[in-house]
Structure 1
């Protein structure tokens, strides 16, 4: 059996923990803590070290999912969590364009850690205020060949689709000798 390390990253409150919880076949190991009053208007807790989940794709493949903290003050964990990853997913909240610049920065940081395949998940696409994918692509300055996928972190099928697209990207690059 082969195990593959996938990192799920993105800005604060983008939906990384929910993404992993939705698809994990084990109880997610989480390091969430109560957050300051200023950030409470968005959510009550934040990841301070990592989230860990697992999903068995088939008899031969198991994915270990590592979620990063989204707050900049915990970014020292990013490099540690990126070690040994075969690919990563950047989760972006489609309703919060004020986080797009931070998402671009996180994407560039992870690309610098390791030249591994990645996809971008446009979370909360079920919201009436969600940005259109092509508008997000422009705002995030994504190359046309980067997969920008619609996602709803609470929808198991949508989360699986994002993971499968990343696996297809990894497989394609491995077969071409580029990964």
Structure 2
């Protein structure tokens, strides 16, 4: 049975845990701890190892949803989890101090996965950030990965249909990249 692993990454407070809870068909396994970095994100808890959820595909197949911690001090989990992943759902919150810089930082941290797997970017809390944040993020992503056409969405991580649309775009990108790899052999 092939393994289908999707990684959710982004800075603390971007909505990774919420997105996984929205999509998962099982109770999500979370490793939440008290947030001691209120300057980075004003929230009570933060992920310290991973979040895990699943979506059934047919009788015996699953899409495994892994969320990584948003703080770089836990970047060893980024390395471990991206090795098995086939796609990256990068979430950035528009009301971050500089969401465009955050995209560059995150894409740099997950460059191996971004180069070999599927990639989509979701901008959460877009109504709280600059009006042109989606366009600016798209421009930065295109500059960092010029050979890719990267879908960028304004999303609410709590909205099932929006997260499902993002997931379907990612799966389409994964399949397209796999076909390109087969054709190049």
Question: What TM bracket, shorter-length normalisation?
Answer: 0.7 to 0.9
The aligned length equals 178
Indicate whether 1:170 and 2:163 are aligned: no
Deviation of 1:169 (Å): 0.4
Q: TM-score, normalised by structure 2?
A: 0.84
1:53 counterpart SS class: strand
Deviations 1:13-53 (A, max 9, x none): 11100010111011100000011263486111110000000
Deviation of 1:60 (Å): 6.6
Q: Is the 8 A contact 2:28 2:51 kept in 1?
A: yes
Structure number having the greater helix percentage = 2
With over 3 angstroms needed to count, the CA separation of the structure-2 counterparts of 1:39 and 1:6, relative to structure 1, is same
Q: Is the 8 A contact 1:11 1:99 kept in 2?
A: no
With over 3 angstroms needed to count, the CA separation of the structure-2 counterparts of 1:40 and 1:78, relative to structure 1, is closer
Indicate whether 1:153 and 2:157 are aligned: yes
Deviations 1:107-164 (A, max 9, x none): 1221135622211111223x35464321332355554711112211000010111111
CA distance in 1 between partners of 2:117 and 2:41 (Å): 35
Counterpart of 2:89 in structure 1 is 89
CA distance in 2 between partners of 1:13 and 1:128 (Å): 14
Q: Is the 8 A contact 2:15 2:157 kept in 1?
A: yes
In the alignment, structure 2 segments of 5+ residues that lack a partner are: none
Q: Is the 8 A contact 2:12 2:71 kept in 1?
A: yes
Q: TM-score, normalised by structure 1?
A: 0.87
In the alignment, structure 1 segments of 5+ residues that lack a partner are: none
CA distance in 2 between partners of 1:40 and 1:122 (Å): 17
Deviation of 1:62 (Å): 2.0
